[in-house]
C-alpha cells in the first residue's frame, strides 16, 4: 500500500493507457497484452524502471550499484546511468562523463566519438567495460524478455524517449509528477474526510 500512489501515477502515464504519437496502435495493443501476462516483479519494473548510477560502480565488487529514484533530478552531467524496464535498456551519458569511463566502456577517445546507433557494447578488455557488461547481464538474466540497448547522449534527440521512462517527473504527454500526484491524492482524501 505504501508504494501504491507511485505505481498508480506510473500507470496513468504509461503508453499502455496513454496514447503517444510515436507509438503505433499495434505496439500499444502488444504492450497491453504483454502487461496482462506479466508477473508482479516484471510489471513493477515495467511501470517503475530501475535506474542505476554506473559511474559509481566499484570494479572490484560483483554487487549492483544502489538504484536511484526515476527522476531527472537524480541525473548529473558527470554521470552515466543505466535504465531498464524489462523491455528496454538505456545507457544515458552525461555531457561531462569522465573520459576514463568513456574510454573504458566504448574504447573511443571522447564523448563526441560515441556511436549511439550501437545496440551492443563493444567487448573491451577493461574493468569498467567488464563490470558494466556484468551488471547488464545480471539485469537481463532476471527478465523473461530480451531488452534492447539504446545509447543516449545528454542533450541529443533520443534523450526525449529516455525521459519518458523517468516516471517521477511530469509526463511529456500528460500526467503529473509524483509529488504533484501525491498532493492531489492528499487533497481528495481530505475532502472525503471532511
Comparing CA positions, the residue from 73, 26, 82 lying closest to residue 53 is 82
How many domains does the structure of the chain reveal? 2
Are β-strands 148-153 and 88-93 bridged in parallel, bridged antiparallel, or unpaired? Answer: parallel
Beta partners for 88? 148
Q: Tell me, yes or no, whether 85 and 176 share the same domain.
A: no
Q: Tell me, yes or no, whether 108 and 93 share the same domain.
A: yes
Q: Tell me, yes or no, whether 85 and 42 share the same domain.
A: no
Domain with residue 74: its CATH number is 3.40.20.10
Q: Tell me, yes or no, whether 73 and 40 share the same domain.
A: no
Tens of pLDDT, residues 127-166: 999 999 999 999 999 888 899 999 999 999 889 999 999 9
Whether pLDDT at 174 is above 80 = no
Q: Tell me, yes or no, whether 101 and 28 share the same domain.
A: no
Domain interval for residue 134:
49-166
pLDDT, mean over the chain: 92
Reported pTM: 0.91
Q: Tell me, yes or no, whether 138 and 84 share the same domain.
A: yes
Q: Tell me, yes or no, whether 70 and 142 share the same domain.
A: yes
Q: Tell me, yes or no, whether 21 and 58 share the same domain.
A: no
Tens of pLDDT, residues 18-52: 878 888 899 899 999 999 999 999 999 999 999 99
Q: Tell me, yes or no, whether 116 and 34 share the same domain.
A: no
Q: Which three cell numbers stand for residue 156?
A: 541529443
Q: Tell me, yes or no, whether 56 and 150 share the same domain.
A: yes
Q: Mapped to the 3 state alphabet, what secondary structure does the chain carry?
A: CCCHHHHHHHHHHCCCCCCCCCCCHHHHHHHHHHHHHCCHHHHHHHHCCEEEEHHHCCCCCCCCCCCECCCHHHCCCCCEEEEECCCEEEEEECCCCCHHHHHHHHCCCCHHHCCCCCCCCCCCCCHHHHHHHHHHHHHHHCCCCCCEEEEEECCCCCHHHHHCCCCCCCCECECCCHHHHHHHHHHHHHHHHC
Q: Tell me, yes or no, whether 151 and 176 share the same domain.
A: no
Domain with residue 36: its CATH number is 1.20.120.730
Q: Tell me, yes or no, whether 138 and 162 share the same domain.
A: yes
Whether pLDDT at 172 is above 80 = no
Amino acid at each position: 500500500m505504501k508504494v501504491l500512489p507511485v505505481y498508480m501515477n506510473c500507470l496513468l502515464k504509461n503508453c499502455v493507457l496513454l496514447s503517444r504519437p510515436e507509438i503505433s496502435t499495434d505496439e500499444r495493443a502488444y504492450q497491453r497484452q504483454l502487461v496482462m501476462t506479466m508477473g508482479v516483479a516484471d510489471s513493477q519494473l515495467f511501470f517503475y524502471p530501475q535506474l542505476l548510477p554506473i559511474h559509481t560502480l566499484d570494479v572490484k565488487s560483483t554487487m549492483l550499484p544502489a538504484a536511484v529514484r526515476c527522476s531527472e533530478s537524480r541525473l548529473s552531467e558527470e554521470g552515466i546511468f543505466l535504465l531498464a524496464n524489462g523491455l528496454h535498456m538505456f545507457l544515458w551519458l552525461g555531457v561531462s562523463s569522465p573520459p576514463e569511463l568513456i574510454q573504458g566502456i566504448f574504447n573511443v577517445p571522447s564523448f563526441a566519438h560515441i556511436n549511439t546507433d550501437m545496440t551492443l557494447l563493444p567487448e573491451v578488455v577493461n574493468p569498467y567495460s567488464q563490470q558494466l557488461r556484468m551488471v547488464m547481464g545480471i539485469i537481463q538474466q532476471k527478465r523473461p524478455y530480451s531488452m534492447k540497448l539504446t545509447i543516449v547522449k545528454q542533450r541529443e534527440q533520443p534523450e526525449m524517449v529516455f525521459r519518458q521512462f523517468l516516471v517521477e517527473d511530469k509526463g511529456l504527454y500528460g500526467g503529473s509528477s509524483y509529488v504533484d500526484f501525491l498532493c492531489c491524492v492528499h487533497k481528495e482524501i481530505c475532502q472525503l474526510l471532511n
